[in-house]
Amino acid sequence: MSTSTDNASIVSPTTEIMTSTVFDELGLERDSDNIYLQIIGAMLHAAEILEVPHHIQLILAQPKNEIMVHFPVLMDNGNYALFKGYRVQHNNALGPYKGGIRFHPHVGLDDVKALSALMTMKCSLVRIPFGGGKGGVKCDPRALSEDELMRVTRRFVCAIAPQIGPDDDIPAPDVGTTSQVMAWFADTYMQISEQTNAPAVVTGKPVEFGGSLGRDKATGQGVIDVLAEMLPDIGLTFASSTCSVLGFGNVGSWAAKLYSERGGKVCAVMDHTGAVYHKDGLDITALDEYARDHHGIAGFEKTPSGAEAITEEQFYSVKVDVFIPAALEQMITKEKADLLNCKLIAEAANAPMTPRGERALIARGIEILPAILCSAGGVTVSYFEWVQNRANQYWDLEKVDDELNRHMVLAARRTQLARHRFGVDMRTAAYIGALEQIAQVYKVRGIFP
């Protein structure tokens, strides 16, 4: 990793990304506000540097399949509501499509396409034999009863069942979906496909139903594994550093917990309900318990934890070494980026910053560790879960943690190597590390017929 002075001279991938002729050939607009086009642009920028053959760039610039479904669900009040769901299968050159299912009111086709492309890149960067997919249902899971949530899940599985399967496309949890949702998912698929031994159709299941030990914490753990590799490059250790975390769901809470277990101080946390601060580091175990009981962190300042409530603006302005965005996409706008007071950003969330936000951060010499590297821990342990299901094995936690660490460390080193070799920013370097593998696989497989 370079120093911050080096960084100032590196061009942000999103400033120059949309120069590729692939945009014209596919009739894609050069719209940097569109999250799918941002991601494709950054990927093509890296592909040009790596000199990936043009036909492979064309293939990777569009998903293979975009599945959109509508399905009715009986609500508790006796009425039927119609739901819209998506499954986008971006690329399967390396193996079955793999990627999470999101339940959120703002799920839309371009988001799902963008996230599916990121999955292709993530799986390739960490060298697991999966392609990229993503799905979602436009709904507010917090507004559904448990029975309604189960019926939405089961009907969605019925709608996409012909397109998925343990050898074809393997969903997983994402924002708004839990291990319980994955259990209903697997059960429904097993009922309708009549494959009684097919829990491998989905990962992130409860441990008692074929889930893997360590899957729950895997994405947060992967962030920490990458930071352990990268922090020394800027003269820091966990014990000597401070951080703030945006989002306190699965990924954010685990990243915060593991950061503080390594001796680091997590000084500020924000979720959709509020933000809290403690200059000596928040008690993350207490915050986690509180957030579970209260469905958010708001009010934690009223407990005897010593934490104080802060505003959104104060949260972004807190001086820390590391900022971990672990909430939703595109939250770090230029305005938020201008407030940030950190040395390093570890993207635990997918595509957490807008191009203008990213440009502002790079101009200030702030190092950005991209999502396809930092947040690849979840899919890596999902792969371990799939392997265990297929082999009817159960790995102990030590084995899961060791294997995850090995994949994450190698991916981090691959990224650092590409950065030095090509003199590019970390995001482009991570894409190069991913594209090397895909380009090589296409080369040896060729294009049918």
Residue numbers at the binding site for ligand NAD (CB under 6 A): 173-176, 219, 246-252, 270-272, 326-328, 348-350, 375, 378
Q: How far is the CB of 9 from ligand NAD (least distance, A)?
A: 30
Closest CA to 43 of 123, 135, 118, 110: 118
134 catalytic residue (yes or no)? yes
Closest CA to 186 of 378, 385, 380: 385
Instruction: Please give the Cα distance from 48 to 165 (Å, whole number).
Output: 34
Closest CA to 349 of 111, 157, 91: 111
Report how far Cα 353 is from the mean position of its chain's Cα atoms: 13
- What's the Cα-to-Cα distance from 107 to each of 12, 41, 102, 136, 211, rounded to whole Å? 27, 21, 7, 6, 26
Which residues make Cβ contacts (< 8 Å) with residue 338, sequence separation at least 6? 360
Q: Which is nearer to ligand NAD, 2 or 38 (CB)?
A: 38
Q: Which is nearer to ligand NAD, 202 or 251 (CB)?
A: 251
Count other C-beta atoms under 10 Å from residue 405's C-beta.
18
Instruction: Please give the Cα distance from 119 to 124 (Å, whole number).
Output: 8
Please count the helices (runs of H) and the strands (runs of E) in the chain. 18, 12
Instruction: Please give the Cα distance from 94 to 435 (Å, whole number).
Output: 11
Q: How far is the CB of 418 from ligand NAD (least distance, A)?
A: 21
Q: Which is nearer to ligand NAD, 57 or 415 (CB)?
A: 415
CB 396 within 8 A of CB 384: no
DSSP H stretches of helix in 178-263? 179-193, 218-230, 250-261
Helix or strand holding residue 59 (H, E):
helix 54-60
Q: How far is the CB of 82 from ligand NAD (least distance, A)?
A: 24
The bridge status of strand 169-173 relative to strand 242-246 is unpaired
Q: Which is nearer to ligand NAD, 131 or 249 (CB)?
A: 249
Residue nearest to ligand NAD (CB): 249
Which residues make Cβ contacts (< 8 Å) with residue 11, sequence separation at least 6? 425
Q: How far is the CB of 372 from ligand NAD (least distance, A)?
A: 10
Q: Which is nearer to ligand NAD, 252 or 357 (CB)?
A: 252
User: What angle do the packed helices 35-50 and 109-125 form, to 10 degrees?
Assistant: 30
Instruction: Please give the Cα distance from 159 to 181 (Å, whole number).
Output: 16
Name residue, tokens 């986690």: 288
Q: Residue 127 corresponds to which tokens in the numbers above?
A: 């060298």
Q: Which is nearer to ligand NAD, 46 or 373 (CB)?
A: 373
Q: Which residues pair with residue 97 across a beta bridge?
A: 169
Q: How far is the CB of 220 from ligand NAD (least distance, A)?
A: 8
Q: Which of 113, 134, 217, 265 is catalytic?
A: 134
Strands (E) across 139-205 are located at 169-173
Instruction: Please give the Cα distance from 184 to 180 (Å, whole number).
Output: 6
Q: How far is the CB of 286 from ligand NAD (least distance, A)?
A: 16
Q: Which is nearer to ligand NAD, 169 or 174 (CB)?
A: 174
Q: How far is the CB of 100 from ligand NAD (least distance, A)?
A: 6
Q: Which is nearer to ligand NAD, 237 or 285 (CB)?
A: 285
Q: How far is the CB of 174 from ligand NAD (least distance, A)?
A: 5
Angle 223-229-233 (CA atoms, 0-180°, nearest 5)?
120
Q: How far is the CB of 389 from ligand NAD (least distance, A)?
A: 17
Q: Which is nearer to ligand NAD, 191 or 314 (CB)?
A: 314
Q: Hey, which residues are catalytic here?
A: 134
